[in-house]
Amino acid sequence: MAQTIINQIPPHRVYIEPFVGGGAVFRAKAPAASSLLADRDPAVAEHWRRWSTSTIVGGGVEVLEGCALELLSSYPWCGDEFVYLDPPYHPDSRACATIYRCEMGDAGHRELLTLLERLPVRWALSGYRCALYDDAAGLHGWRRIDFNAMTRGGVRVESLWMNYPAPATLAEYTYAGSNFRERQRIGRKVERWLAKLDAMDPIERNALLSAMSDRDRDSWNADRGRAQQGNDHAHPETDRHRSPRAPG
């Protein structure tokens, strides 16, 4: 599941996960320049605090204990953040009524969706489909992909909602490909191209790499510009209502 989600994450400087829980995506992805993890469950937050002080990882990791909705409301957004949300799934979508220590009911999900509509950065949210999320996605034009995920009760179809188009450039390509065979095929192609590059004359190789770097940078800037234009159009007064960052 984490690999499928990571294959949808665009480039970013700051990674924010306000419902970190077990942190499966955070643990599997390449470190961002800076990461902010948060959870309302004191035990979960303490676990990640201990982890952050005892584990050597790239980039800085900040851990907060508190409400995800308050964090999202007060964070001073710069535009280069990416938010991954894995909240307690909506009660209407679950087979079991209570499976979380810190629950979120229908009202909490409605408040979360309202916040996400105003968020001036790219985000992705995991969950099971339900009428509330289908309606919100249809209203705001959010993209959704579905995939099989293993749960305590067996295989279920999980959904990932995103407020941005399918990215042409990813934050990383560790898991590029939709399944093992495709990842293997891409890996072998990479190896063949690397061998060809190694065999080239150094000037020719550097000319090719320079052209590829320029094209990649132009593509990334275009993606960022389109995303920012969409955010500016949807939230023209975001800067005027920007709140100070939550303490921590």
Q: d(Cα 109, Cα 85) in Å, to the nearest integer?
A: 12
Model confidence over 100-146: pLDDT tens digits? 677 788 899 999 999 999 999 999 999 999 999 999 999 999 999 99
pLDDT band at 13 (very low <50, low <70, confident <90, very high): very high
* Residue 128: other Cβ atoms inside 10 A: 18
What is the secondary structure of 77-89 as a DSSP string? --S-EEEEE-PPP
Q: d(Cα 200, Cα 60) in Å, to the nearest integer?
A: 39
* Average pLDDT rounded to a whole number, residues 24-32: 95
Model confidence over 152-208: pLDDT tens digits? 667 789 999 999 999 988 999 988 887 888 888 988 998 998 999 999 999 999 998
163 CB-side CA count, 13 A: 26
What's the pTM value of the predicted model, to 2 decimals?
Answer: 0.79
- pLDDT for the residue numbered 219: 63
Please say if the pLDDT value at position 98 is more than 70.
no
At 30, the amino acid letter reads A
- pLDDT for the residue numbered 89: 82
What percentage of the chain has pLDDT greater than the value 70? 81
Phi, psi of 85 (to 5 degrees): -120, 130
* Average pLDDT rounded to a whole number, residues 17-33: 95
Please say if the pLDDT value at position 245 is more than 50.
no
Average pLDDT, the chain: 85
Q: How far is CA 89 from CA 56, 97, 123, 157, 166, in A?
A: 32, 10, 17, 13, 24
pLDDT band at 220 (very low <50, low <70, confident <90, very high): low
CA-based end-to-end distance of the chain: 30
